Structure formats: C-alpha cells, structure tokens
C-alpha cells in the first residue's frame, strides 16, 4: 500500500453508505471534499465529532465543500448510530457515512495502521480539491477527537492561496494579514496585486492585508 501524498489524485471508489451507494468522485462533483474516518460506530469520541461536523455543515457548504465520513461498520449500523448522534448532540446528520465493511476505502486511503489496530481505522482526514487532488492529510490517534474548526481554517487558507499569490502565517484566521510569496519580485506586479500595500519585515517576509477582504 502506497501512502497518499499531497498532490496525488484521491482514489475513486464506489461504496455503500448511510444514504445509499456513492461514487466518490461523482459525489464530490466540481467542489471540494473532506473525507474523514472513524474507528467504529457507537463510540464516544466519534459521536461528538460527527455531531459537531453536522452542526457546522453550513460552514463547509459556504466553502463549496462536501463532508463524508467512513467507518468499517455496515450502513444499517450507521443509520442507527446517526439516531444516537442526533439525539445526544442535538443535531441532524445529513452527510453520508460510508459503510466500509470490506475495508476497500480504508485500504485505498491507508486508514488502518496495524501497529495501532489491525481492524479499526485511525482518525484520518483528507481535504480534496475540485481537481480531485489531495491537499491535506491529517492522522490522529483513535483516542483523540479532531478539531474541525482547524479543518475549516485550512480550507479557507487553501482557497485563498490558490487564488492569490500569498501564504498564510502561523495561527492565521480568515481576515488576518497574510504573507506575499517570496517568488513574487516585480514591483509593478506587487502594486497591482496588493493595492493596500505591504510591510517588508525582511526581503523574504512581506506582510499584506488579506487581498479578498
């Protein structure tokens, strides 16, 4: 199994889910995708994660991103678990949970780490862009819940930096100042791209207001 790396094409697949059969690339369409795995149904940390993802689902939609979870249990188990999630987390889960009993998706995305568990998936996250390229990978231990605000933050950064010649600094949040990429040298181009101006801390470190705000 080859580990997926940034820039690789996200493997396509067809798999059952809590809402029926899903063809992954077709499901994503021309938008962004967030695929994230769970060790098993009816587990406490996963319940809180799926609940929170549902609560902020509108934030993903604003970013033209679809979320899709995966667990190695079957679709009927997922549907029963969703009832629990909705009840305990005060939400309504509407995004799909893939039913990966045959470990097809888990294997394609290298979600089972034998030294941690031979059966349960680790908590992996993949952000996939409209060209179906992997843009972020995160892997958490099974015992640690993920920070979905961070995943939204990375989406904001990726979408901003894809459309402007900038990078986002440490602890950046949407609306904060950004860094002009070092490769951009031409002063006329700099003035055109960054009409608000910029501060040159060092020749390689130039700070400017976020250009799309």
Q: Is 150 helix (H, G, I), strand (E, B) or coil?
A: helix
Measured between alpha carbons, how far is residue 26 from residues 8, 12, 34, 64, 200 in Å? Answer: 18, 9, 14, 15, 45
* Residue from 135, 119, 102 nearest 40 by CA: 119
- What are the structure tokens assigned to 176, written together? 């904060």
Residue 213 known to be catalytic: no
* Residue from 202, 203, 169, 163 nearest 185 by CA: 203
- What are the structure tokens assigned to 114, written together? 């034998």
Q: What DSSP character marks residue 196? A: T
Count CA atoms within 13 Å of residue 106 on its CB side. 26
Angle between helices 44-55 and 148-163 (to 10 degrees): 50
Q: Is 29 helix (H, G, I), strand (E, B) or coil?
A: coil
Instruction: Indicate which residue of 46, 125, 127, 128 is catalytic.
Output: 46
3-state per-residue secondary structure call for 187-203: HHHHHHHCCCCCEEEEC
Q: Which residue has the tokens 């130039």?
A: 206
| Residues assigned a catalytic role | 46
């Amino acid at each position: 199994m080859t580990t997926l790396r940034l820039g690789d094409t996200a493997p396509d697949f067809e798999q059952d889910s809590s809402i029926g059969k899903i063809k992954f690339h077709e499901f994503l369409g021309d938008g962004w995708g967030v695929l994230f795995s769970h060790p098993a149904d009816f587990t406490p940390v996963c319940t809180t994660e799926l609940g929170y993802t549902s609560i902020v689902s509108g934030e993903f939609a604003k970013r033209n991103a679809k979320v899709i979870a995966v667990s190695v249990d079957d679709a009927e188990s997922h549907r029963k678990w969703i009832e629990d999630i909705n009840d305990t987390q005060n939400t309504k889960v509407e995004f799909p949970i893939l039913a990966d009993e045959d470990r097809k998706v888990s294997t394609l995305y290298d979600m089972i780490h034998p030294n941690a568990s031979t059966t349960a998936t680790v908590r992996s996250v993949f952000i996939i862009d409209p060209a179906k390229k992997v843009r972020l990978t995160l892997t958490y231990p099974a015992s640690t819940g993920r920070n979905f605000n961070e995943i939204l933050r990375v989406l904001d950064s990726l979408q901003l930096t894809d459309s402007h010649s900038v990078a986002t600094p440490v602890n950046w949040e949407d609306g904060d100042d950004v860094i002009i990429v070092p490769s951009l040298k031409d002063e006329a181009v700099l003035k055109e791209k960054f009409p608000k101006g910029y501060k040159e801390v060092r020749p390689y470190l130039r700070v400017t207001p976020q250009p799309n705000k």
